Structure formats: structure tokens, C-alpha cells
Amino acid sequence: MSAYDASMSEPALFRVENCSIERTLAILGEKWTLLVLKEAFNGVRRFADMQAGTGAPRQVLSSRLARLVDEGVLRKVPYREPGSRRRDEYRLTQKGLDLYPIMVSLMHWGDRHMADPEGPPVVLTHRDCGSPVELHLRCTDGHEVPSPREVTPHAGPGARLAG
């Protein structure tokens, strides 16, 4: 990953092995995983329901759920319906819930650039007032950051410069 640090005269080249984006994509950067998360955020908890909602092949879904559990994004909670064997539900952990802005951003990007002419298939609204949900990027002083052109990357405490 490369970035420009205003305190340097040249762009800084950072090593990839500790890139936060790469590490995140190693867990989430695949269609089925994101579709599983979409279902989880919509309240789907059971394997069969996730399979129906995603269309994922059984083996693929099983693998993605196991990975998300291993990574601490989902947790298994046992349940048993009368007359059936014990099974597991999959619930979002706090680590998983922290992914919500990413999922909403992906959805909004798709709504803006990929939706059918009729409009988006789902609209998110605030439960209390019914208004549509929007995401905004802000600095810690509360200023809205409307464009990536208004952001300057700087080396962080964990940066490892290439070279």
C-alpha cells in the first residue's frame, strides 16, 4: 500500500504484511462471506435459512461460517427444536457488529452504481423516526469529509516502511 505523507517529500511505500485493508480482505474479501454477513445483519441465524438466503452451496457455506466463527466475527449458540438433534445458530459478535458500516457502504455503493432502473431493492430506515439511513465520514473534530481528496494519509504507529 502506498500513501503520501505530507511531512515527507516523496510518497511513502508501506509494506503489505501489516496492511489493515489486506488483513480485512483476507477474512471478508469474498462474495459468499459478505452474503453470509448480509444475512446475519438481517437477523438470519440458522444454517438452512442462510443457505436459502445466500444460495451458497452447503460446503461453501459451512466453510465460510466456520471461518467467521474462528475469526470471532460470529459465535455459535446451540439450540434444539423438539424432536430434533442439537444444532447451532450463528450470531454476530461485537467484532461482527463493527462491520455494519462496511456492509452499509457496500450496499449504498451498489444502490448508486448497480441498482435496477426502478431503484434499490432495500432501503434502510431509522427505527425510531423512519428516515433513510446515510453514512458520513467525519474527522474527530466533527467535520464532514465529503471526498477522499480531503484526506491525507500519514504513517501510523504500526507503519513499516518498505526498503
Helix (H) or strand (E) holding 53: helix 47-54
Mean pLDDT along residues 70-94: 95
Mean pLDDT along residues 89-107: 97
∠ CA 151-155-156, rounded to 5°: 100
- Inform me whether the pLDDT recorded for 13 exceeds 70: no
Q: State how far the Cα of 95 lies from the Cα of 141, in Å rounded to an integer.
A: 25
- Inform me whether the pLDDT recorded for 1 exceeds 50: no
Q: State how far the Cα of 143 lies from the Cα of 151, in Å rounded to an integer.
A: 12
DSSP code of residue 42: T
**Where exactly are the structural domains of the chain?**
2-150
Range scoring the smallest mean pLDDT among 16-20, 86-90, 98-102, 125-129: 16-20
Q: Identity (one letter) of the amino acid at 118?
A: E
CATH number, domain 2-150, options 1.10.10.10, 3.40.50.1820, 3.40.190.10, 1.10.10.60? 1.10.10.10
Q: Which residues contact 138 (CB under 8 A, 6 or more apart)?
A: 144, 145
Contact criterion met (CB below 8 Å) for 163 and 14: no
> Beta-carbon neighbour count of residue 54 at 10 Å?
21
Report pLDDT digits (tens) over 114-155: 999 999 999 999 999 999 999 999 999 999 999 999 999 888
Q: pLDDT tier at 103 (50, 70, 90 boundaries)?
A: very high
Predicted local confidence at residue 121, as pLDDT: 94
